[in-house]
Structure 1
Amino acid sequence: MSSHVHAESVVRLTPESVDIDGESVILLCASLFYFRIPRELWKERMLQLKAMGYNCIDVYFPWNYHEPREGEWDFTGIRDAEAFLRIAAECGLWVVARPGPYICSEWDGGALPAYLLAKEPEIKLREYDPGFLEQVAKWYGVILPILRRHQAGEGGSVILVQLDNELDFYGCGDPEAYMSALRDMAVAHGIKVPLIACAGQGGIVQATGLAQGVIPTCNFYPDDRDPEFEAKVLHYRAALSDLGLPLMVTETNRNHYLLRRLLSAGAKLLGPYLQVSGTNFGFTNATNNWGRPLAFLASDYDFGGMISPEGHIRREGYEGRLLARLLQSYGPALAAAAVGPHRLWSGEGDMREVFGPFGLRLKGGGSLLFLSNGAEEARSFALRAQDGRSIPTAGTLTLTSRGSLILPVDVPLSLWGVDGKVIYATAELYWAKPQDGGTVLAFHQAADGGEIALDLCDVVEFEANAAAVILENDRFMIQRTGAETACIRFRLKGGRQLTVVISDRLKALYAESVSLNGELTVTEPDFREERLHDKGAGVSWKRSLAKQGEPAVQAQAVGETHDSRLEPLERLGVYRGFAWYEAKAAIPEGKEAAGVLVSKAGDVLSLYASGRYAGTFTPGGGTVYAPLENARAEPDRGGLPIRVRVEIWGHSNFDDIRLPGLRLHSKKGLESIIAVTGIRDITSNWRMSPAAEHSAGDAAAFQAEEAWHPVVGFGGWLSDDPYPDEIYSKTLTTSADVNRWTLHFQNLRGKARLFVNGIDAGLIHPCDPFVDVTPHVVPGETVHLTVRLQRMMGQSAGRVILYEGVSAADYVIRAGEEPELLASAGTEAAQDLQEPIQLPIAMDPGAVGWLHGVVGNSAAGKGWRVHVAGTGLKLTVFLNETIVGRLWLPGGAGRPVMTGGSSDSFYLPGPWLDRKEARLLIYLEAVDPQASGRLEALDFIPV
């Protein structure tokens, strides 16, 4: 496999190295996403990364962020990707560019524009599909020329370009053809640096198709203490080596303990995902399968990486700097190191949950031994070589809980301009730099002590502080004698000096410099995240209220129809934000609506009938039933008035079959509303027959009318088969005065297929167990239901409910994004702005309204982190014209799993508060039908 796509590429890949401009480098690469960080802070974040030793960033380019509507491109302000790449080059950071078309990244639709979902004929996403590739070509035609202008060798620092993302999670029908098509587009647009494609679950073939010129990389997200992790990584390293390629890990966990384990297995690119956290501004959040299974991604995008969304460097940042200094100390010798052989050394002593030793052979001679402790307790042991050598020569070395050590063996000191070698050390070398007049080698060891053996033949004299030095035949054995930092200064022939420093790990972690005289300058950072609180930050709040369920005043009309079945919002040109549905249901005379059934609905539905709030739901693209009380038709208004407020939280960034809304191609809005006038529990009295007694055709037509077939509850037959396969059948008569029938298989587990009057109505989905049987039913006549049920013994068959009702019709649909919401806030404020209020405030269930305030900057000019205390409320927070937070506070059965960051706080960036008074608007929705929504406090914490 070719390791690059053009002979002029300055990036060369070999089994043992990544070479840039002829020099081998290990890429320590942090995710840094321009679209989640204010433009004014891009350079600050890059310089923070540089200060922590990182030499590379990876960055996605979200297609739908730059093309919010088809044909409308935006590369201004925070979307100025070209400026971002220019700043990266100025800061001396290499760039792994990831233009998709699909990026995942917990971003709305994985960055695939929602207008693709409205195309007819339907486009097959992420496939070798002409319709999809035609659209991708337009995106690539815009973004790839930007990447070309900023690639290495042409004045920029882009060294790798990734095509798509983790395709092996998706099940692409022809990955080779698809990836080849993307490759051809990249080459046609002048991309000369290597093209890569990452495997998300180890499916190299499924992720890349092994397409010529597409370099496989790996994403690993293990348990950091998985005892078999190195073995897995070494497997992929060997497989890629056979292709003439290095192991590059484009995504992994953020813990540098794990990065050290990856390094020990020969990884040349270490890519912890999201080391720099951020914010999903606007309506860019995603939904995905990180919940039960549905989850909503918070606006705060923070997995605990080493730099917080506000720009605070966390403790892990200094672990990164320590590792980076080690990489820099060994330089190209480590960057081009080969793995193993690992069996040359073994451990003796308490090696429980100790991983290693694993070895890397440095280019030019010598080795590094890697040891990681996965235990919660320290471990003490010795290392023994096959040739009889021992480290240490006597006694043991100690590895702290969750600790890691990288130990030099037979490493030539010529790497740092000194004759001789490091024979071995029980301490980790993290600082090795030639300076004017000599060289400094700084080691750290977590426990007291530390033993270093040096082979030096040009020593004139030496002096030692806090260390014992034993000299024998030009071999210097150095031992730190206590907890104090040890310093040994060797004066060499020619007047140069070699200084060896041994300190504890904490000093090494926070060392700013090590001088030739052995002095460590140590500055321990202040990690206190809880700074002085300001309960109000001087904000004077006013409140305006809107009428329950009514659309925002400035919402735009997007659809009006008499049909009972609706198009998804994407086909109405609505790709994000809110939509408001108004409809009427003609209830048969003498009946009431017991509830409302809403089908194919997502993401957030707040339902009102006859002006009364019925609840807020998150059905995940499926069907939801909402019971009603005292919901009567209003003949003078054409029936039962129904309103639904729908919010698109975000299109799924993943593809999961467990819920309709978790499919990558899933659409938003709702398909139909049914006013339910009758609810029948039909769980009892089904005829049962073993499926083995019937052919497939017989099973479909089986009505179990023979008297000898047992009559039992649905799924109630007790079998001695641990995997029963049974057919259940029932006949019933439908109501004559309704027009919709839906079956609900509550709490069904197992595999079930429904037949209605002998016609296959499809599989019953356990996570969305509603089946609309209307097409197979004649009002007032009998209907035959047959279910083939396959499950493990003990799995629930649940209950079977039949909902009968009438379709709502005469729909009017309106929609709005940020501008419409803000305009409505202004209109409502002009009509109903109350006097200044104090928190806490309470809102009736289903109520909506606005909080209006102005806020200044924090004293340091870096903005605020605002923590929200309350229950039963959903908040959409605007700072001036930008949504900075979408929050859903605890309370109410409809609240989904919130994940990906803080669900009860938002960040107000300092650069966006440079006005004398910035407008802060909060759209409030009371979403718990059982209790009032309460906003207790807004706690402003200065950044």
Structure 2
Amino acid sequence: MTDLSTATVRLGRSGLVLDDREETLLCASLFYFRLPREVWEARLAQVRATGYRAIDVYLPWNFHETAPGAWDFEGRRDVGAFLDLAHAAGLAVIARPGPYICSEWDGGALPSWLALEDGLQLRQAEPKFLAQVGRWFDQAMPILAERQWGRGGSVVAVQLENELDFFDTHDRHAYLTALRDMALGHGIDVPLVACAGQGDLIGATGGVEGIAPAFNFYPDDRSPFVEAEVRRYADLVGAEGLPLLVTETNRAHTTLRRLMASGATLLAPYLQASGYDFGYTPSTGNWGDPGGFMTHDYDFGGYLSPVGEARAESAEARVLAALARTLGPALARATTVEAHGISADVPTSASPSQLVLDGGGTLTGVPNLGDEPGTATVDGVSIALAPFSCALVLRDLPLGGYGLPGTLKFASADLVGADGGLEFASRVPSTIVLEGAGGVQAVEVDAPQRGGSVVTEVASGRDRWTVVVHHPEDVAAPDGTPGVISPALPEPESLTAATRLDLETRAGETTAHELPPTSEAVGVYRGRTHYAASVAGATELLIEGAGDIVDLALDGTALPSFARFGATVRVPVDGASRLEATVETWGHANFDDSRLPGLAIGSLRGLGRVWSIASSEDVASLWTVDGGAQWAGDPAPVRTLAGWSSTRIGRPATYRRALPVDGTSHYALHLAGLQTPVEITVDGESSIVSPNNPWVHFGPDEGREVAITMAHWPVDGGGATLLRLEAVRDWQVEAQADHALLALSAKDSTGTVIELPLELEAGEEVWLDVPVPAGGRSLRFEGGQVRVSAFANGELLGRVWLDDAARPKFTGGDPGRLWIPGSWNTGAVRLLVHGTAGGDRPRLARVTAAASPE
């Protein structure tokens, strides 16, 4: 697979070659769906000013299909217009239409209603799912095909799927073949790629001809082993005549330099240009401990902040991009080897990389992985290393290709230009060695100061060179304009005036259901669903599968919120006769995580299944044990569950018993104290139970014979309880989808002028209008036991949840900040404020507004 090309885009050993220009490409993620349309052009210009020549762009399916069959490509959903602006800015685009994109986006962009279709299997070579994908590709692919590089547009590659090697796709080859054929059928003739999230080439591409592998690397920036890992993958794809394409990685240019030195010809750090998740679009889950809400603020510390501030890393971007431009094809065609002859007095790579440049010379990466300055010796030459940096040391570079005499024998500074002279950038003292007609000349250059480039004339016989060393922040953009790092913004203003509106928070129109439906089943793909039913006579409830944010009230008394991502919850009834519940969707899971039910791809939202607990029985005893190799003898011993003792820790033991089920009722088995996943076999059917949700549900005529296999670990098992369940029936349900909430937020209303702080009762919910100074503003909220949804310009800006023991962790950015773009700011923001139970009295103490650039 060595020739995937069009007339103007070629994928070969040197990378993505555009119009026969071979160059290592730097690529920034920039997402139209996370920014107002009014700032697209400015953000694209900011990226181009850093010297990055490409952007990668997801196309989220469920951003454009807002309900089944309802397509929207207008306004800020006009991806075609965004791609045209990218082309006008001189940026190539790697388009990523999925169908699954991850991106910490609601459901990974898979529409939530897909899971309602009986038999449909997500991300599989299954006819129902492929038919749905075909509908999406029928909308998205023509937009991309019309804007391919070879047709006067910006799209230079199309990525199919995303990190499929994390997901259990049963027939990867068939699935990727189907996606490839759909793309080709729509006239896509730029290269097709598929990225591996954990290095599994076949897991990502299915081994399908015509789909090139790409890689997402997220190493520890301080790890000494990065280079060796990356070189391995460079060698693997290089053997097939293909380049190492890094389609996602960390943002620090120290790490990007290490990857470049290790052979990457495309470097696409995720996420250099940050943004926001407007509306109900953040996901749940994704990282570390199970659960967690992605923030409205979508920011991983890239060189552009969510509001467009150019951070210090933007100077490093200009330097690395200038070095790649200057070395050009010699760098793109380089081969990578392990570097030798390097020592350092600071933490550094265990196996540094060296690029053997095409046409002569080498480029060696010398990292300083510590936070203090240091020195290194490279082939006997001592060089200075800045804190947390990676020097790219040039050796033996012929200068004839630049119209200059002689050879650049050694440079510890970055070569950022060679037009009439040699331009370098460095934060530390540098060594420049040139060889000309009169022999070798070495120059030691002091560290330049900002605005004070050091200029040196070097002579060797008849050969002359002008050597200029800049401070990195003085390296210009590709068009020659000075680089910019945004100044500090003014202190935020405190907003205390508000109007409490006489406006309802829900319509009150309900429909009857025997059992609580999922939110999606009543048309709430994003938004809230309200439930009410009688629980008279019940003493305790069991709620299975509820999510995301669940607010319960018994006879009007609010209970603490919970966000357990589908895990089973027990709720005492305490003599109450009526249960009311509001379930708000934060977002569907974007990353398949089987530890909690609500974090599996395709999991639905809503109240789940609600049961009255009719009886409870201790079943921790009388389990027969099969210890396998850990015991000898027959008959099998009888122990408590997890009670078998052995010196062979970690080896499996199986516990079996019949459970006292009646054959007609539903039951739930609770495995208390579970510390590791176990395999449970019920009537011959096996599944895995996680400590995060240690419950097993038995339907009628299930659960007579149960076997639990667990690795031996000498701790108290904690017990097992069997609950007999009776369904709570006859529900009144009100669907309140996002469009209904938006309509409410836009209503005119009278109200009462108040001053913050605002105190509420637990469970109380009110609308406020808060005046906001003109322009783009970052809004911050202070208080506790309240959730706030902020609306402006007909959009939900985002949501915050203040100081509540019940809230889950937040990941992705600043959980307390919402942004109102200047173009959306009409002078006020409308807030829906909900008080929660379980702590001090709900209180919105203050709102502050900080000016932001546009």
Tell me the TM-score range normalised by the shorter chain: over 0.9
User: Counterpart in 1 of 2:808?
Assistant: 896
Instruction: Select which of 411, 417, 421 maps to 1:440.
Output: 421
Aligned CA distance change for structure 1 residues 555 and 311 (closer, same or farther; 3 Å):
farther
Deviation at 1:28, TM superposition (A): 0.5
Aligned CA distance change for structure 1 residues 361 and 195 (closer, same or farther; 3 Å):
same
The residue type paired with residue 433 of structure 2 is: A
Structure 1 residue 455 and structure 2 residue 413: aligned?
no
User: Counterpart in 1 of 2:359?
Assistant: 364
Deviation at 1:40, TM superposition (A): 0.5
Distance in 1, Cα, partners of 2:53 & 2:135: 32
Structure 1 residue 62 and structure 2 residue 60: aligned?
yes
Structure 1 residue 561 and structure 2 residue 513: aligned?
yes
1:316-335 equivalent positions in 2, closer than 5 A: 316-335=313-332
User: Would the aligned equivalents of 2:788 and 2:834 in 1 still touch at CA under 8 Å?
Assistant: yes
Deviation at 1:234, TM superposition (A): 0.8
User: Would the aligned equivalents of 1:842 and 1:932 in 2 still touch at CA under 8 Å?
Assistant: yes
Aligned CA distance change for structure 1 residues 185 and 453 (closer, same or farther; 3 Å):
same
Aligned CA distance change for structure 1 residues 556 and 298 (closer, same or farther; 3 Å):
farther
**How big is each residue's C-alpha offset from its partner over 1:20-39, in whole Å with a ceiling of 9 and x where there is no partner?**
11110211000000000010
User: Would the aligned equivalents of 1:614 and 1:626 in 2 still touch at CA under 8 Å?
Assistant: no
Structure 1 residue 534 and structure 2 residue 493: aligned?
yes
Query: Residue 134 of structure 2: SS of its match in structure 1?
Result: helix
Query: Residue 174 of structure 2: SS of its match in structure 1?
Result: helix
**How big is each residue's C-alpha offset from its partner over 1:13-59, in whole Å with a ceiling of 9 and x where there is no partner?**
22234321111021100000000001010010011111111110000
Aligned CA distance change for structure 1 residues 350 and 243 (closer, same or farther; 3 Å):
same
Aligned CA distance change for structure 1 residues 741 and 477 (closer, same or farther; 3 Å):
closer
Query: Residue 809 of structure 1: SS of its match in structure 2?
Result: coil
Distance in 1, Cα, partners of 2:46 & 2:477: 17
Aligned CA distance change for structure 1 residues 774 and 514 (closer, same or farther; 3 Å):
closer
User: Counterpart in 2 of 1:596?
Assistant: 541
Instruction: Select which of 23, 35, 38 maps to 1:25.
Output: 23
Instruction: Select which of 626, 637, 648 maps to 2:585.
Output: 648
Distance in 2, Cα, partners of 1:284 & 1:803: 37
Aligned CA distance change for structure 1 residues 291 and 931 (closer, same or farther; 3 Å):
farther
Query: Residue 371 of structure 1: SS of its match in structure 2?
Result: strand
Deviation at 1:681, TM superposition (A): 6.4
Structure 1 residue 428 and structure 2 residue 413: aligned?
yes
User: Counterpart in 2 of 1:347?
Assistant: 342
Distance in 2, Cα, partners of 1:651 & 1:86: 31
The residue type paired with residue 712 of structure 2 is: M
Aligned CA distance change for structure 1 residues 509 and 357 (closer, same or farther; 3 Å):
farther
User: Counterpart in 2 of 1:637?
Assistant: none
User: Counterpart in 1 of 2:558?
Assistant: 613
User: Counterpart in 2 of 1:682?
Assistant: 618
Structure 1 residue 810 and structure 2 residue 730: aligned?
yes
User: Counterpart in 1 of 2:105?
Assistant: 107
User: Would the aligned equivalents of 1:598 and 1:673 in 2 still touch at CA under 8 Å?
Assistant: yes
Query: Identity over aligned residues, as a percent?
Result: 35
Deviation at 1:615, TM superposition (A): 2.4
Deviation at 1:785, TM superposition (A): 7.3
Deviation at 1:760, TM superposition (A): 6.2
1:51-450 equivalent positions in 2, closer than 5 A: 51-120=49-118, 122-340=119-337, 342-343=338-339, 345-348=340-343, 350=345, 352-354=347-349, 357-384=352-379, 390=380, 392=381, 396-425=382-411, 427-434=412-419, 439-448=420-429, 450=430
Query: Residue 456 of structure 2: SS of its match in structure 1?
Result: strand
**How big is each residue's C-alpha offset from its partner over 1:418-477, in whole Å with a ceiling of 9 and x where there is no partner?**
12111112x31333242xxxx2322344434x32221233xxxxxxxxxxxxxxx34322
Distance in 2, Cα, partners of 1:51 & 1:102: 31
Distance in 2, Cα, partners of 1:329 & 1:666: 50
Query: Residue 40 of structure 2: SS of its match in structure 1?
Result: helix
Query: Residue 768 of structure 2: SS of its match in structure 1?
Result: strand
**How big is each residue's C-alpha offset from its partner over 1:79-104, in whole Å with a ceiling of 9 and x where there is no partner?**
00110000000000000000111111
Deviation at 1:302, TM superposition (A): 0.7
Structure 1 residue 661 and structure 2 residue 578: aligned?
no
**How big is each residue's C-alpha offset from its partner over 1:617-653, in whole Å with a ceiling of 9 and x where there is no partner?**
1121232112233x33xxxxxxx22111011111111
User: Counterpart in 2 of 1:910?
Assistant: 822
Aligned CA distance change for structure 1 residues 526 and 183 (closer, same or farther; 3 Å):
closer
Unaligned runs of 5+ in 1: 385-389, 458-472, 547-551, 588-592, 633-639, 778-782
User: Would the aligned equivalents of 1:691 and 1:788 in 2 still touch at CA under 8 Å?
Assistant: no
**How big is each residue's C-alpha offset from its partner over 1:896-928, in whole Å with a ceiling of 9 and x where there is no partner?**
111111111100101112x4x3x4111122233
Q: How many residues align?
A: 844
The residue type paired with residue 573 of structure 1 is: G
User: Would the aligned equivalents of 2:50 and 2:477 in 1 still touch at CA under 8 Å?
Assistant: no
Deviation at 1:240, TM superposition (A): 0.5
The residue type paired with residue 541 of structure 1 is: T
When Rg is computed on C-alpha atoms for both structures, the one with the higher figure is: 1
Query: Residue 656 of structure 1: SS of its match in structure 2?
Result: coil
User: Would the aligned equivalents of 2:627 and 2:652 in 1 still touch at CA under 8 Å?
Assistant: no
Deviation at 1:111, TM superposition (A): 0.7
Aligned CA distance change for structure 1 residues 569 and 34 (closer, same or farther; 3 Å):
same
1:839-918 equivalent positions in 2, closer than 5 A: 839-857=756-774, 861=775, 863-892=776-805, 894-913=806-825, 915=826, 917=827
Structure 1 residue 579 and structure 2 residue 529: aligned?
yes
Normalising by the residue count of structure 2, what TM-score does the alignment of the two structures yield? 0.92
Deviation at 1:273, TM superposition (A): 0.8
Deviation at 1:72, TM superposition (A): 1.2
User: Counterpart in 2 of 1:636?
Assistant: none
User: Would the aligned equivalents of 1:555 and 1:820 in 2 still touch at CA under 8 Å?
Assistant: no
Distance in 2, Cα, partners of 1:607 & 1:688: 38
Distance in 2, Cα, partners of 1:372 & 1:768: 44
User: Would the aligned equivalents of 1:674 and 1:740 in 2 still touch at CA under 8 Å?
Assistant: no
Query: Residue 173 of structure 2: SS of its match in structure 1?
Result: helix
Deviation at 1:784, TM superposition (A): 6.6
Distance in 1, Cα, partners of 2:780 & 2:255: 32
**How big is each residue's C-alpha offset from its partner over 1:259-302, in whole Å with a ceiling of 9 and x where there is no partner?**
00010011110000111111111111111232531111111111
Deviation at 1:690, TM superposition (A): 2.2
Aligned CA distance change for structure 1 residues 256 and 744 (closer, same or farther; 3 Å):
same
| 4+ long deviations beyond 6 Å | 481-484, 491-494, 520-524, 758-761
Aligned CA distance change for structure 1 residues 482 and 314 (closer, same or farther; 3 Å):
closer
Distance in 2, Cα, partners of 1:363 & 1:761: 57
Normalising by the residue count of structure 1, what TM-score does the alignment of the two structures yield? 0.84
**How big is each residue's C-alpha offset from its partner over 1:388-416, in whole Å with a ceiling of 9 and x where there is no partner?**
xx4x3xxx222233121112211122232
Aligned CA distance change for structure 1 residues 117 and 733 (closer, same or farther; 3 Å):
closer
Distance in 2, Cα, partners of 1:483 & 1:86: 40
Query: Residue 422 of structure 2: SS of its match in structure 1?
Result: strand
Unaligned runs of 5+ in 2: none
Deviation at 1:251, TM superposition (A): 0.4
Deviation at 1:539, TM superposition (A): 5.0
The residue type paired with residue 499 of structure 2 is: W
User: Would the aligned equivalents of 1:442 and 1:514 in 2 still touch at CA under 8 Å?
Assistant: no
1:719-758 equivalent positions in 2, closer than 5 A: 719-722=646-649, 723=651, 725-727=653-655, 729=657, 741-752=667-678
Instruction: Select which of 448, 468, 471 maps to 1:501.
Output: 468
The residue type paired with residue 473 of structure 2 is: L
- CA-based RMSD of the aligned residues comes to 3.1
Deviation at 1:577, TM superposition (A): 0.7
Deviation at 1:804, TM superposition (A): 4.7
User: Counterpart in 2 of 1:768?
Assistant: 693
Distance in 1, Cα, partners of 2:58 & 2:82: 12
